[in-house]
Amino acid sequence: MDLLTHFILLIIAGISFLVLVLVFYTLISNALPSFINFGNNEVTDLWNFLTGDIWRPNSDIYGILPLVLGTLLVSLAASLIAIPIGIGCTIYISEIAHPKVRGILKPAIEILAGIPSVVYGLFGLLILSPYIRDIFGVGSGTNALNGAIMLAIMMIPIMVSLSEDAINAVPRSLREASYALGANRWETMRSIVLPAALSGIVAAIILSIGRAVGETMVVLMCTGNSPQVTGNILDSVQAMTSAIAIDVGEVAGGSLHYHVLFAIGMILFLFTLAINMIADLIAARYSEAYR
């Protein structure tokens, strides 16, 4: 019986690994033809693909710089909004809040994580964007800032629940030692708990940035989808995920455009893979500290 259970669970675990391998294979095998074709295409080549600032698939011009910068601009702005709020929330919930308040706040934040992203997208598109248009006096409220605010709201629950775990994992003995030396609650938190949990908190932040980079529905609905190179947060941008989502449904299978979409998917995959590995490395350092 034990052996059977072991075997079944092994297969189940194996399937998830197999799925990863298959996804990666699909990406590579579909992206490769685009890299091969780049060499034969007069309009574009690999260098133009990576650094070209014009994304115009209908004329076979595939510079993904506007898309990469779009993703980075929205994610960076979202992080700048989400990090202070997320860390503040975590500190308040884990160290300051009365247990009754915590009993309400914590589930509330966890529910935020369970709301489907399309609902956030609708909220940004229909409710938030008119305010952004009127407050900042721009032509349209569907822009990078709109997407960034909605992404930040999606990042906060991940950040809070992961960094709260990190803070809770700081051994009780450390806090007690600090109190014994006469430090108050604020001093203990600032000088003992936060530094001890720092790598866990940083890992939480990085993982939530990974979420922002890979998010599709919200950026698709909120940022306006203009594939332009811009650093202005009030301009409309198109993210890599949006370009894939918008075009893949109607693109002719096997065309250069089709393969380029997979190439973008691969670059996106490398982005999030790198982000997750950095988070893992930092978290690994942290888990060794108090063993």
Partner 1 sequence: MDRKIMYAAIAVIAVVIIAGLAVGLGSNNNAQNKTNVTEIGSDTMLELMQMCAEDFNAESTTVSVSITGGGSGVGITKLIQGETDVAQASRAMTSAEAQNASTHGVEAVEFKVAIDGIAIITNGANTVTTLTLDQLANIYNGTYTNWNQVGGPDLAIVLYGRQPTSGTYQYFEEVVLKKGKTGASEYSSTMKQQTGNQQILSQVEQDPGAIGYVGVGYAKQGEGSVDVLNIQKNDTSIAYNALDENAVLNQSYSLSRYLYLYTNGVPTGAVKDWIAYVLSTDGGQRIVTDAGFYPLPSAVQQEMISKLG
In the complex, the residues that contact partner 1 under the rule CB under 8 A are 54-59, 66, 129-130, 133, 138-142, 224-229, 235-236, 238, 246-247, 249-253, 257
Task: State CA 213 to chain mean position distance.
Answer: 4
Q: Which residues of 11-29 are buried (b: 16+ CB within 10 A; e: fewer)?
A: eeeeeeeeeeeeeeeebee
Q: Which helix (H) or strand (E) holds 56?
A: strand 55-56
CB of 49 to partner 1, least distance (A): 16
CB of 140 to partner 1, least distance (A): 4
Residue whose CB is less far from partner 1, 106 or 257: 257
Residue whose CB is less far from partner 1, 214 or 224: 224
Q: CA 215, CA 70: separation in Å to the nearest integer? A: 13
Residue whose CB is less far from partner 1, 199 or 238: 238
CB of 33 to partner 1, least distance (A): 17
CB of 282 to partner 1, least distance (A): 37
CB of 239 to partner 1, least distance (A): 12
Residue whose CB is less far from partner 1, 150 or 193: 150
Residue whose CB is less far from partner 1, 47 or 136: 136
Q: Quickly list H helices, 41-143.
A: 46-51, 65-91, 99-114, 117-122, 129-136
Give me the phi and psi of 12, to 5 degrees please: -60, -45
- The Cβ of residue 63 has, within 10 Å, a number of other Cβ atoms equal to 20
